[in-house]
Amino acid sequence: MALVVQKYGGTSVANLERINNVADRIIRTCLEGNQVVVVLSAMAGETDRLIGLANDATGGKPNPREYDVLISTGEQVTVSLMAMMLMDKGFPAKSFLGSQIRIVTDKNHSTARIRKIDAGLIQQELDKKRIIIVAGFQGVDRKGNITTLGIGGSDTSAVAIAAAIGADYCETFTDVDGVYTTDPNVYDKARKLKKISYDEMLELAGAGAKVLHQRSVELAKLYNVPLYVRSAFNDDEGTLVTREDQDMEKEVVSGVTYDRNQAKVSVIRVPDKPGIAAKLFTPLSDCNIIVDMIIQNASVDGYTDLTFTIPKKDVAQVEKILDAVAKEVNADRVHIDPNISKVSLVGLGMRSHSGVASKMFAALAGEGINIQMISTSEIKISCVIEAKYTELAVRVLHDAFALEMAS
Amino acid sequence: MALVVQKYGGTSVANLERINNVADRIIRTCLEGNQVVVVLSAMAGETDRLIGLANDATGGKPNPREYDVLISTGEQVTVSLMAMMLMDKGFPAKSFLGSQIRIVTDKNHSTARIRKIDAGLIQQELDKKRIIIVAGFQGVDRKGNITTLGIGGSDTSAVAIAAAIGADYCETFTDVDGVYTTDPNVYDKARKLKKISYDEMLELAGAGAKVLHQRSVELAKLYNVPLYVRSAFNDDEGTLVTREDQDMEKEVVSGVTYDRNQAKVSVIRVPDKPGIAAKLFTPLSDCNIIVDMIIQNASVDGYTDLTFTIPKKDVAQVEKILDAVAKEVNADRVHIDPNISKVSLVGLGMRSHSGVASKMFAALAGEGINIQMISTSEIKISCVIEAKYTELAVRVLHDAFALEMAS
């Protein structure tokens, strides 16, 4: 018998038929002798509908506290429907909102972080042989105001609950059936991984893979919660995200991923003086713009070029901010290129195996793909290339590192 | 400066445009120097949509606890939208759910009764110069489970809050602009009343008038909360429901009302023995069927006929129950007639003025309308007549008592 946390995303509970399928799957897990805590998202589309209402009601600037009161209704609907459906099938179940199960967060509405979960309350309900259905994505601050956790919130709720109650593992059911060596839509030779380390999953998520959000993986790593990524629509085994073990060391590269949502910004001929970089980046960070790869070339004649990437959606805002700053710091000009993508290799084996970078560059060069920027971490190499080469680059790298074959 | 509770029903907040209009009205009330607590229903249609989901999810038998979790989201949506809209217009506001403002109820899901409201919490927020927006219709039991109050729930919430905080009055905004001497759709001579007593309003509501639910009027009477019935769509003065005063004594009859949703049940030739009535009515009450007028004729040869009215929607169920019971008690047969309606006169003046009943019977007889049943209370007379005469009876009685003219 295991204590299991199962999380089902919005597409898995998009309508009553799918909620019914999920209910049957939960029942199966129970009948196999497990204790189950379920975490649900809102029905697919519902959160967007509510956000639309909030924006229409306020000209796009809803009060953060009230915004959270509004959008948290989405999960409230799915958990009550699921609990009543399970009971209708003869299985004792009980729904809990973030406020009821005491998922206490800080008071940052829409981006709240979990501080504490009342594991005792969940344990009490489990002891009564009930299936616990918890509303994901939401919590409550110390004063009782409803908060929401932001992007990846339900995954985060599930992992946090698993950690709090000491679950044996956490399963997250989604519309893909695991973590692949690359996006199967881009390359049909993509292979599903049986196992991947937290660190690799973090780098893959950060580099554009959409299966899991970084936050939930960080939390799983911190509390060492084994995390299964599985499909809500079939019984395939999925991928286990877990801590590094000896098996894993064999894989030099685990996956290739890409991110088409970045734009490249170059500030040309910046006077190379202390404090200039701060002057450029502080106004961006003040506007919550996430700057990713940053590269500064060696200085020539007291001038340098600064290049970095930003989310494509922020291009207009960044252009406006930097045009002003560039003048202030006497830079020559700002050039923004949205026509790029970032292709990344991730693998634990990079630590010990040299030559991954050179093999990557050679493979891209072999197809005439020019590398515009490079950045590396301990277990990742990313290259910015022209956008039109994205799929080609993914396939070439997948082949170069023989990712279609399990090692 | 007054402390005011305003309640807006589902049609008043049916969409963002109407919520916007209500927001402007609330602001106007504040600018006139009042402190305002607002109680809202769900958007018109939303509660029905959620009930539909619950029934579809469970084959019509949703678990009561989960049902309340589900349908209480309707009010959560409107209060958050209203609060963010008011803030967007520059007026500090804050929404509260039943659980947050501590509207503590008993644990009877879907028909919960309010036990306690934390007036201190509301007062604290008012002291901060905020407009308080409370989700109507919902509360929380002592264990923190969400409850709902059933039919007329939001009106009940509003009156209970007004009583708890000692509000100067409670305004309930609806799609009609007050209480009329009769239904204006049936008789265009209907006149809006400026004032009516709690007792008359209770009798009118019980006799079929749909403006206010009896529960909220009972509560208003109990705590002596002056209650204004007003239109959400215009600035007309509406009707004040309040305690009896000398002005009111002048009106012999305040209104004529009708109820087409009743059916007449006759149990023919029942042996006139002790305990028989209990045997007939106990199974009906066990099924929560509300029996209204009950008439038992004088016994002849040890047999009597028992006649009473029930809601039309329960006819099939009642027929089934009574056919069995009739056999058991050796009654001759059961006859059910759904083709009736109940027409009632209500007025405080009936207490002191004799002759109201005879004038009523004469007026009906003058149009050849046969009276099938009669029942009276201190301030009401009701007659059951054939359904097709309903409108005619209403008009005749309105004229007979000269209700179109204010006394």
pLDDT tops 80 at residue B248: no
Determine the residue of chain B that is closest to A50 in CA distance: B77
Q: Kindly list the strands in the beta sheet with A195-197, ordered across the sheet, starting from the edge strand earlier in the chain.
A: A93-96, A131-135, A35-40, A3-8, A169-174, A227-231, A239-242, A195-197
Which pLDDT score is estimated for B197?
92
Nearest-by-Cβ selection for B67 from A53, A76, A84: A84
Q: Is the Cβ pair A80, B99 closer than 8 Å? A: no
Query: Which residue in the set A16, A70, A73 is minimally distant from B57, CB to CB?
Result: A16
Instruction: For residue B343, give the nearest of B256, B264, B404 by alpha carbon.
Output: B256
CB atoms within 10 A of CB A301: 7
pLDDT tens digits along A114-161:
999 999 999 999 999 999 999 999 999 999 999 999 888 999 999 999
Confidence label for B205 from pLDDT (cuts 50, 70 and 90): confident
Max distance between CA atoms of chain B, in angstroms, equals 78
Q: Comparing C-alpha atoms, which of B8, B18, B69 is closest to residue B42?
A: B8
Q: CA A193: distance to chain centroid?
A: 18
Nearest-Cα residue of chain B relative to residue A87: B63
- DSSP track, B194-240: SEEEHHHHHHHHHTT--SS-HHHHHHHHHHT--EEEEESSS----EE
Comparing CB atoms, the residue among A57, A87, A94 nearest residue B84 is A57
- Which pLDDT score, from 0 to 100, does residue A167 have? 97
Q: What is B7-47 written as a DSSP string?
A: EE-GGGGSSHHHHHHHHHHHHHHHHTT-EEEEEE-PPTTHH
Q: Which of A3-12, A203-212, A228-237 tops mean pLDDT? A: A3-12
Neighbours of A330 (CB within 10 A): 12
**Contact check, Cβ <8 Å, B83/A63:** yes
Nearest CA of chain A to the CA of B283: how many Å? Answer: 27
Question: What is the pTM (predicted TM-score) of this model?
Answer: 0.85
Q: B245-407 falls under which CATH superfamily?
A: VC0802-like (3.30.2130.10)
Whether B66 sits inside 8 A of A80 (CB atoms) is: yes
- Burial level of A369, CB count in 10 A (0-12/13-18/19+)? buried
State whether A73 and B76 contact (CB < 8 Å): yes
Query: pLDDT tier at B247 (50, 70, 90 boundaries)?
Result: low
pLDDT over 80 at A240, yes or no: yes
Q: Is the pLDDT of residue A327 over 80?
A: yes
Contact A253, A350 (CB under 8 A): yes
Q: Is A70 in Cβ contact with B73 (below 8 Å)?
A: no
Higher pLDDT, B303 or B388: B388
B155-178 mean pLDDT = 94
pLDDT at A407: 58
Name the token pair of B251. 């009106």
CB atoms closer than 10 angstroms to residue B89: 14
List the single range of A147-161, B62-76, B138-152, B263-277 with lowest mean pLDDT. B263-277
Question: Does the pLDDT value for residue B249 go beyond 70?
Answer: no
Residue A397 confidence (pLDDT) above 60: yes
Nearest residue on chain A to B51, alpha-carbon basis: A81
Q: For residue A43, what is the DSSP state?
A: P
Which residue spans within B249-368 are E strands per DSSP?
A: 255-259, 262-271, 294-296, 303-311, 333-337, 340-346
Mean residue pLDDT of chain A comes to: 91
Residue that is written with structure tokens 């009401």 in the block: B380
Give the largest CA-CA distance in chain A: 78
- Non-local CB neighbours of A1 within 8 Å, separated by 6+ positions: A33, A34, A35
pLDDT at B406: 72
**Number of residues written out for chain B:** 407
**What's the gap in Å between the CA of A55 and the closest CA on chain B?**
10
As a whole number of angstroms, the distance between CA A82 and CA B58 comes to 10
Q: Is the pLDDT of residue B43 over 70?
A: yes
pLDDT at B206 (0 to 100): 77
Gap between the Cα atoms of B331 and B305, Å rounded: 9
**What Rg do the C-alpha atoms of chain A give, in angstroms?**
23
**pLDDT, tens only, B311-354:** 999 999 999 999 998 888 888 999 999 999 999 999 888 877 77
- The fold for domain A3-175 equals Carbamate kinase (3.40.1160)
**Fold agreement (B3-175, B245-407):** no
B395: tokens are 């008009």
pLDDT at A248 exceeding the cut of 70: no
Size of interface A-B (CB pairs under 8 A): 106
At residue A21, the pLDDT reads 96
Closest CB to B70 among A19, A62, A80: A80
Lowest mean pLDDT among A176-185, B126-135, B160-169: A176-185
Tell me how long chain A is: 407
Interchain pair B70, A62: CB under 8 A: no
Which DSSP symbol is given to A188? T
Span B395-402, average pLDDT: 94
Question: Which has more confidence, B83 or B215?
Answer: B83
Contacts of B88 in chain A (CB under 8 A): 57-59, 61-63
Report the residue of chain A nearest B80, measured CA to CA: A66
What is the nearest CA distance from A401 to chain B, expressed in angstroms? 49
Is there a contact between A284 and A243 (Cβ–Cβ < 8 Å)? no
- pLDDT tens readout for residues B260-298: 999 999 999 888 887 888 888 888 888 888 888 888 777
- A10-24, A125-139, A298-312, B355-369: lowest mean pLDDT where? A298-312
Give the amino acid at A249.
E
Is B12 a residue whose pLDDT tops 60?
yes
pLDDT band at A292; cut points 50, 70, 90: confident
β strands within B27-163, DSSP E: 35-40, 93-96, 103-105, 114-117, 131-135, 138-140, 146-148
Interface touch A85/B57, C-beta < 8 Å: yes
Calculate how close chain A gets to B20, using CA atoms only, in Å: 8
Q: Determine what percent of chain B is predicted with pLDDT higher than 70.
A: 98
Q: Looking at chain B, which residue has its C-alpha nearest residue A133?
A: B66
Confidence of residue A245 (pLDDT cuts 50, 70, 90): confident
Give just the sign of the alpha carbon dihedral A68, A69, A71, A73: positive
Chain A environment of B100 (Cβ under 8 Å): 144
Question: Both tokens of residue A150?
Answer: 């932001």
Q: Which of B153, B341, B154, B362 is nearest to B262 (CA)?
A: B341
Question: What is the structure's pLDDT at A355?
Answer: 82
B392-407 mean pLDDT: 90
Mutate to test the interface with B, among A80, A87, A130, A132 (most CBs of B within 10 A): A80
Least confident of A168-172, A257-261, A375-379, B155-159: A375-379
Q: String of b and e for A30-66 (b: at least 16 CB within 10 Å)? A: beeebbbbbbbbbbbebbeebeebbeebbeeebbbbb
Q: How far is CA A48 from CA A51, A125, B111, in A?
A: 5, 32, 33
Q: Whole-angstrom Cα distance, residue B67 to residue B147?
A: 9
- The span from the CA of A383 to the CA of B84, in Å, is 44
Question: Hey, where are the domains in chain B?
Answer: 3-175, 245-407
Interface test with A, best of B21, B67, B80 (most A CBs within 10 A): B80
A139: tokens are 């919590």
Tokens of B344: 């009632």
d(CA B249, CA B351): 10
Q: Show residues of chain A in contact with B20, CB under 8 Å.
A: 57
Of B69, B87, B100, the CB nearest to A76: B69
Burial class (CB in 10 A: 0-12, 13-18, 19+), A122: buried
pLDDT of residue B151: 83
Q: List the structure tokens of B321.
A: 């129950």
Residue A129 backbone zone (phi > 0: left; psi -120 to 50: alpha; other: beta): left
pLDDT at B37: 98
